[in-house]
Amino acid sequence: MIWRAILDAVFPAQCAACNALGSALCATCAPPMPAFSVAHPGLRVVATGWYDGALRTAILALKDGRRDVAEALGARIAPAIEPGSLLVPVPTTRARLRTRGLDGVALVAATAAYLANATVLHTLEHRVGDTQRGRTRDERLAAHGRFCAREPLEGRACTLIDDVCTTGATLTDCALAIRSAGASVTGAVVVAATKSPTSWR
């Protein structure tokens, strides 16, 4: 904690959207707002905003490896998480982990869990090293079986955590993997969701 305070003093956080000092995502650019439900077949999904403007800029900064942004986004989703929940972050691919040096969604989940008195379980992994980025909507929706759980999960109730939800295919696939391992899925909490209604089925 002392070292963190020193680092914050020497290298103060800078808003990913407007570059103002003091926060990785300032309240002026992305005011806190109550989480809202987004349509998803078979899964309760809540988001803290739409994937545009400052929130989109922050998520892209997260994908580029900004740890401070991960913490800011974790604080943003924490109020939407039930105390005592078991949070399962959607994992990044090994290739992206090597490139970025961190798993942004895992860090978001860690901060949210700390603030919400929840627990993080890193159980999901990619079966293959592919990604949804660059795929068409139909290709995203058709992708199944990309994830598996590392361990049996009988009797557990899990909440998925992700940064952004576009078609909902990744959450569907992760929920399938968790249920196949014997657990239930209470829902998912994401930082942002796309606005287009044609993105969802």
Q: What is the C-alpha separation between 34 and 77, in angstroms, rounded?
A: 9
Q: Angle at the Cα of 112 (from 143 to 148), degrees rounded to 5?
A: 30
pLDDT of res. 52:
94
Residues near 151 by beta carbon (within 8 Å), at least 6 away in sequence: 123, 181
Q: Whole-model pTM above 0.75? A: yes
| 195-to-25, 30, 38, 199, 200 alpha-carbon distances in Å | 21, 16, 9, 8, 10
Whether the CB-CB separation of 38 and 47 falls below 8 Å is answered with: yes
Q: What is the C-alpha separation between 187 and 175, in angstroms, rounded?
A: 9
> What's the one-letter identity of residue 137?
R
pLDDT of res. 157:
97
Which residues in the chain show pLDDT less than 70? 1-11, 128-144, 196-201
pLDDT in tens, 91-142: 988 887 787 778 999 999 999 999 999 999 999 998 865 554 544 444 444 4
Segment holding 187, helix H or strand E: strand 184-193
pLDDT of res. 144:
59
pLDDT of res. 98:
81
pLDDT of res. 141:
45
